[in-house]
């Protein structure tokens, strides 16, 4: 995320109010597991299918009691390495992107060590194949600071651009800066968004009733990450359990701890009792994917 909100970010205005131009859609298949290029180090191979297979919605709770999902924000250059690791271990994630920002618009410095650039999303429509694309606002504005009309445009234009680039209508949201209020939630509901994720950790795996105020289990840099992972693996659950991990891919680069993700994936990959899904597949298992 940026360290600035709409009210103090003059560089946003310099980006203009235009969405990225988008090429003719390249089909993207969101309902599939990925073929692995390398097996996990633990020797346990996840069950996979090919990219070209599409399936009707499957409610994972009919077959599993545990589900694992990842969520990453902003659409940064480091998503390429993140995806390589997730794909290698058969993991599924949701990527929440700002369609009005690009490589040269919205750049900032993380912890004085890393210049953060976003991807030119319209040029890499196939990069996220096998995963879910979700709403994060056109320009990463703090939605609670906008007028109702501005909030609608920030969300509606983001939905339209994601649909155009990736070929599927987004049904989920990650709130910029983790900030939202009742008015924002109601606008998401009106626009057909089924879940909205904040940044406050729950440190638990229980299902949540209010998906538009969803609390993730933890951030990937949380001190409790590996103890939570161990609890998740050892749990003999009678009710559905969801391990939801979020973050930004640039944090791994800036903190020089990509090994943390490798260790986590190695720990959790290839389990017969875990469903590996996108946020939509896990939180809204009965919702069909609507294509443009």
DSSP character string of 121-142 = GGG-TTTTTTSEEEE--SS---
Model confidence over 104-134: pLDDT tens digits? 998 999 999 999 999 999 999 999 999 999 9
- On whether residue 14 sits in a domain, the answer given is no
* DSSP class per residue in 215-277: --SEETT-TTHHHHHHHHHH---SS-EEEEEEE-HHHHHHHT-HHHHHHHHHHHTT-TTEEE-
Question: For 168-200, how does the pLDDT look when each residue is reduced to its tens digit (9 = 90+)?
Answer: 999 999 999 999 999 999 999 999 999 999 999
Indicate the pairing of strand 114-116 with strand 108-110.
Answer: antiparallel
| 10 occurs within a structural domain | no
Residue 273 domain-assigned (yes or no):
yes
Contact 33, 275 (CB under 8 A): no
Alpha carbons 131 and 227: distance in angstroms, whole number: 26
Distance CA 61, CA 250 (A): 33
Give the number of domains in the chain. Answer: 1
Residue 138 is assigned to a structural domain of this protein: yes
Query: Which of 216, 160, 219 has the alpha carbon at shortest distance from 191?
Result: 160
- Cβ contact 155:175 at 8 Å: no
Asked whether residue 259 is domain-assigned, the answer is: yes
pLDDT in tens, 69-90: 999 999 999 999 999 999 999 9
What percent of the chain stands above pLDDT 90? 77
In a domain, 9, yes or no: no
Full domain range(s) for residue 125: 63-283
The span from the CA of 283 to the CA of 129, in Å, is: 19
Task: Say how far apart CA 159 and CA 137 lie, in whole Å.
Answer: 8
Which residues does 68 contact at the CB level (< 8 Å), separation at least 6?
A: 91, 232, 242, 243, 245, 268, 274, 275, 276, 277, 282
Return d(Cα 240, Cα 61) in angstroms, integer.
Answer: 7
Task: Note whether residue 272 is domain-resident.
Answer: yes
58 confidence band (pLDDT: 50, 70, 90)? confident
CATH number of the structural domain spanning residue 160: 3.20.20.370
The confidence score (pLDDT) of residue 43 equals 54
Quick one: pLDDT at residue 57?
61
Please answer whether residues 253 and 107 qualify as being in contact, where contact means their C-beta atoms are separated by less than 8 angstroms: no
0.85 cut: is pTM over it?
A: no
38 inside domain: no
């Amino acid at each position: 995320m940026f360290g600035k909100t709409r009210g103090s970010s003059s560089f946003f205005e310099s980006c203009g109010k235009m969405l990225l131009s988008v090429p003719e859609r390249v089909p993207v298949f969101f309902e599939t597991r990925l073929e692995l290029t390398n097996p996990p180090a633990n020797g346990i191979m996840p069950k996979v299918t090919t990219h070209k297979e599409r399936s009707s919605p499957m409610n994972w709770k009919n077959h599993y009691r545990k589900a694992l999902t990842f969520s990453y924000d902003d659409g940064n250059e480091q998503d390429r390495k993140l995806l390589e690791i997730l794909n290698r271990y058969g993991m599924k994630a949701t990527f929440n992107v700002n369609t009005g920002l690009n490589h040269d618009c919205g750049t900032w410095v993380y912890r004085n060590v890393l210049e953060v650039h976003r991807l030119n999303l319209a040029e890499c429509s196939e990069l996220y194949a096998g995963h879910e694309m979700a709403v994060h606002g056109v320009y990463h504005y703090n939605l609670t600071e906008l007028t109702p009309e501005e909030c609608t445009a920030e969300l509606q234009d983001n939905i339209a651009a994601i649909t155009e680039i990736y070929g599927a209508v987004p049904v989920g949201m990650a709130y910029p800066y983790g900030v939202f209020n009742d008015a924002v939630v109601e606008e998401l509901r009106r626009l057909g968004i089924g879940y909205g994720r904040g940044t406050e950790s729950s440190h638990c795996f229980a299902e949540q009733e209010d998906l538009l105020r969803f609390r993730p289990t933890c951030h990937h840099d949380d001190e409790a990450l590996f103890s939570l992972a161990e609890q998740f693996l050892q749990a003999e659950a009678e009710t559905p359990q969801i391990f939801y991990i979020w973050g930004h891919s640039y944090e791994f680069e800036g903190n020089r701890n990509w090994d943390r993700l490798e260790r986590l994936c190695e720990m959790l990959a290839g389990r017969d009792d875990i469903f590996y899904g996108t946020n939509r597949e896990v939180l809204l298992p009965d919702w069909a994917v609507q294509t443009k």
